[in-house]
Amino acid sequence: MPFVEKLLMLAMAAEVLLIFGLLFWLGRERVPRVMSGEIAMADIAVERTAYPLQAKLLANSFDNQFQLPVVFFVGALLVLHLGNVSWVEAALGLVFVALRYTHAAIHVTTNNVGQRFVAYTLGLAVLVVFWLWLVFKILLAPSI
């Protein structure tokens, strides 16, 4: 397997690790509060307003990992399936995932909306370039 393919798969694995890390951390914030009775099941059955701020931030960050990253996963799987991964896709994938980590870190710590917006927008821009590059490659490929 070419090294650039491994790098792209590592970027995908790093995003999955972020998702699982947030989920684990979210569970550590939520489950003990429910198990101890601090938060009643009825208070969380429909909405999450009963949870403290940190749990809400973690839940929002976790939910956010199923927005832009899904578009990244689809593109990465497509380019891997086509079998023509280049350094461009690998580098863009790694930068995108690094920006997802940055976004999540801001989300669950300071939650500075301005900084979070910049990280999100940069990640979106990288993802758009990733997809434009991918479409360009597909259109110019002699046969796929």
What number is the average pLDDT over the span 113-137?
A: 97
Q: Which pLDDT score, from 0 to 100, does residue 144 have? A: 54
Q: Domain span at residue 27?
A: 3-140
CATH code for position 56:
1.20.120.550
| 44 pLDDT more than 80 | yes
| 25 pLDDT more than 90 | yes
| 141 pLDDT more than 90 | no
Q: Which pLDDT score, from 0 to 100, does residue 142 have? A: 78
Q: Which pLDDT score, from 0 to 100, does residue 84 have? A: 87
Q: Which pLDDT score, from 0 to 100, does residue 88 have? A: 97
What number is the average pLDDT over the span 2-24?
A: 98
Domain count along the chain: 1
| 143 pLDDT more than 80 | no
pLDDT above 90 as % of the chain: 90
Read off the pLDDT of residues 61-105 as tens digits, 9 standing for 90 and up: 999 999 999 999 999 999 999 998 999 999 999 999 999 999 999
Please report where in the chains the tokens 């059955």 appear, as a residue: 45
Name the packing angle between helices 53-64 and 3-35 (round to 10°).
150
Give me the amino acid identity at 33.
Answer: R
- Give ∠ CA 144-142-8 in degrees, rounded to 5: 55
What is the token pair recorded at 80? 């891997």
